[in-house]
Structure 1
């Protein structure tokens, strides 16, 4: 499961783990304050904000061409964050704070370390309980014309499966982006797989919004949602040519987060160089005698 379902809400695990880590850190800071030590919570809050700001700026700087303007850059619903810039800025800010405020050294270091350890342990348990490299399930879907479409027949190229429905607001917001990518991204097949609706409903929606995706399939009983343990819609699955699930995105995609995911999918789908290839490269690079 790539997200935490809370009734009608679906929260990706990344923000949830961040909030858990901060809550643990704030609790430890509170206990330190009760023991007469300096209050580290204001510093924790500021470092969290600085880290998130740096992570967002780092992501936007890398994918700025994918954003239509400043409002899109400020819309963090796509969860576009670059972890390393955020971590570096937070660490540097924490080091500066500790250097200038010796009284904070114990409470700030202890509370921050506690939050990181707890969040890391929970994240590790989640990863162990839900291996990403799920094989492509043996299910047969339907085209809008009613023809059977075995999912296994889509293997062989990098594959993106977008699980959506016309009644899902974030699904329909990202739909034009996915249709455009399906028509213009080379070397990747993108399939839009409607969950639980009939062909007439889907066809009418696409016609009304002037969308003409290359591949639309129907999953009438939600077999893919169950197979991949998805907590809700939209869910976008990025699958290697051999059918292994490489990553999943629960929630709305932006052009930038889709571009990043496609780049990683292509990189992971490249065949590894064989020993013969390596020998040929070494022979080509070696000077002749």
Structure 2
């Protein structure tokens, strides 16, 4: 699973692109006598703010049916819910509007934004190439709640969503109803809930207390899944296609809009 510390690779790419845009805009402004490099950097930061806001609002509109069921999830930006191309277009439009009457500032900031967009596209392409060699779904030997041995290879041949969780983990507990609903709506996808490091009694007690009807709940007493997939925390959700290739991942609590978005992009 590609990430940098607690941040997903998508977040890191956006931060990199913003940094490139800010640096290039300031460098170009330094070479122009009619503008300030601080002003140029400030315009870039302002454009990023409005771009992010637009990207989030566009994403909420796209998945409105899911967000209106749970309005509080609209502010859960940790789910990665952004329509990035909308954000880029709004940021470019803001830069044009803010610098339209100052040619020198316009050239420096537009040059910075262009450099940031190029950095974003290149970094995204590199990550896409890296994902092609991502590790396959691990062939782990796990157990069901009633003690029956089961291998993850038994789920081969269909899209698989692995969720690594534990009952002591608050965000894991909050997202469980999302997977309960998903198991009902997407019967052609295997949602495999792999408990990390707990006993069958602990896992079953939690499911009963929350009145959750989840299938494919497996026990991973030694937390092998976290080790084999380089997971840095719980909850972690991993998306594998029908060929067993890792196509996406999400660390932290996932919302229904974000889950459906990833499913629609990777599993049609």
State the TM-score, normalizing by the size of structure 1. 0.81
Which blocks of at least 5 consecutive residues in structure 2 are unaligned? none
Say which of 2, 9, 14 aligns to 1:18: 14
CA distance in 1, matches of 2:174, 2:207: 13
State how 1:136-147 maps to structure 2 within 5 Å: 136-147=137-148
CA distance in 2, matches of 1:122, 1:246: 17
**Cα displacement string for residues 105-149 of structure 1 (whole angstroms, at most 9, x for unaligned residues):** 232133333444445555555555554653222221111111111
- Larger radius of gyration, structure 1 or 2? 1
State the TM-score, normalizing by the size of structure 2. 0.86
Contact 1:163 1:192 in 2 (8 A): yes
Which blocks of at least 5 consecutive residues in structure 1 are unaligned? 268-289
| Number of the residue aligned with 1:45 | 45
| Number of the residue aligned with 1:233 | 234
Instruction: Give the SS at the match of 2:100.
Output: helix
CA distance in 1, matches of 2:149, 2:115: 53
Contact 2:24 2:115 in 1 (8 A): yes
Displacement over 6 Å in runs of 4+: none
| Number of the residue aligned with 1:276 | none
Contact 2:131 2:246 in 1 (8 A): no
Instruction: Give the SS at the match of 2:205.
Output: helix
Indicate how the Cα distance of structure 1 residues 130 and 158 shifts in structure 2: closer, same or farther if over 3 A, else same: closer
When structure 1 is superposed on structure 2, of 114-123 and 130-139 the one drifting more is: 114-123
| Number of the residue aligned with 2:199 | 198
When structure 1 is superposed on structure 2, of 102-111 and 198-207 the one drifting more is: 102-111
State how 1:213-252 maps to structure 2 within 5 Å: 213-252=214-253
Instruction: Give the SS at the match of 1:46.
Output: helix
Q: CA deviation at 1:180?
A: 2.3
Indicate how the Cα distance of structure 1 residues 142 and 65 shifts in structure 2: closer, same or farther if over 3 A, else same: same
Indicate how the Cα distance of structure 1 residues 13 and 244 shifts in structure 2: closer, same or farther if over 3 A, else same: closer
| Number of the residue aligned with 2:254 | 253
CA distance in 1, matches of 2:102, 2:179: 50
CA distance in 2, matches of 1:265, 1:118: 24
Say how many residue pairs are matched.
263
Q: CA RMSD in A?
A: 2.4
Question: Is the aligned partner of 1:55 residue 2:51?
Answer: no
Contact 1:183 1:213 in 2 (8 A): no
Contact 2:131 2:247 in 1 (8 A): no
CA distance in 1, matches of 2:241, 2:182: 17
